[in-house]
Amino acid sequence: MNLVAHPAQSMDMDRLIHDFNLCYGCGLCGEVCPRGAITIDASRAADGALHKHPVLDETHCVHCGRCSSVCGSGAISQEKFEGLVQQMSEARQEHLVFFCRKLNLSQPSPMQGEALGLNTPLTAVRMMPQLSRVRLPQGVRLVDVRCTGRIGARTLLSLLLAGVKGVLIFACPPHDCEYGRESCLSALHVEGLNSLLDAYGMGERRVEILFEQPESPAHVEAVVERFRHGRLRLTR
Ligand code: SF4
Ligand code: SF4
């Protein structure tokens, strides 16, 4: 198999796009916002129907992306995710691997820590996955994201409909998440989408999420290979 070094495409997904004309008023964005930056305004139309409108106060927004991950209408989307769907389709890439940026911090490996004389128990020092050293087959794209909690079912489904066979997410353990257990939210999206795909006969477990710190580039490569061949069976 032809393996290539795979510099992770780093996506700083800060920019959210709001087009509330697309909103169908489900109110979910307001429910999941951890900062109360979105309130749901309700008004009655002339025919008596109740309409809900999200109102965003940007001064309270911390750009966590939760609102965008639950918005099914496209009223809140992420510019770079939309671009990624198009890129995957145009390049005919078959597998996408998302990687929480926190897992890729440049912390010293135990051996490096020892060489630096760090007074830290070796077990407490994380291995550095060194994504730039990960080698993957052609057709697999590696994307380093600010928080995997921003990956919602709508984005995942768009990727699959664009021809991507499978999406694998390396998320940080929920107790480590800087954004308040965001990775748990992405797990709900993954489970929901897989159930839907299964029910419609569109394939089993085409999306998978792991909550662990990979130990090395070889570890990442091995997990990706198992996923590509349908052998990654996670126990929950
Ligand atoms: S990005 Fe996060 S903080 Fe900002 S409005 Fe959306 S859910 Fe709230
Ligand atoms: S989640 Fe999306 S569709 Fe639902 S109220 Fe918020 S903006 Fe509108």
Contact indicator for 174, 211 with CB cutoff of 8 Å: yes
- Whether residue 39 has pLDDT greater than 90: yes
- Distance between Cα 117 and ligand 2 center (Å): 52
Report the alpha-carbon distance of residue 157 to residue 194 in Å, rounded: 10
Closest atom of ligand 1 relative to the 38 alpha carbon: 5
Closest atom of ligand 1 relative to the 64 alpha carbon: 2
Average pLDDT taken over every residue of the chain: 80
Between CA 31 and CA 57, with CA 70 as vertex, the angle to 5 degrees is 55
Nearest CA to ligand 2 atom 4: 26
Give residue 162's Cα distance to chain centre: 17
Residue 32 identity (one-letter amino acid): V
Phi, psi for 56 (deg, rounded to 5): -100, 130
Q: Is 63 in the pocket of ligand 1 (CB under 6 A)?
A: yes
Q: Is 137 in the pocket of ligand 2 (CB under 6 A)?
A: no
Nearest CA to ligand 2 atom 8: 23
Mean pLDDT calculated for residue range 58-77: 89
- Whether residue 126 has pLDDT greater than 60: no
Is the entire prediction scored with pTM above 0.75?
A: yes
Report the alpha-carbon distance of residue 110 to residue 92 in Å, rounded: 39
Tokens standing for residue 205: 């477990």
- Distance between Cα 142 and ligand 1 center (Å): 26
Per-position b or e across 88-100, b if 16+ CB within 10 A of its CB: beeeebbbbbbbb
Beta pairing partners, 41: 53
Closest atom of ligand 2 relative to the 27 alpha carbon: 5
pLDDT tens by residue, 99-122 = 887 776 545 444 545 555 544 444
pLDDT tens by residue, 74-101 = 999 888 888 888 888 888 888 999 988 7
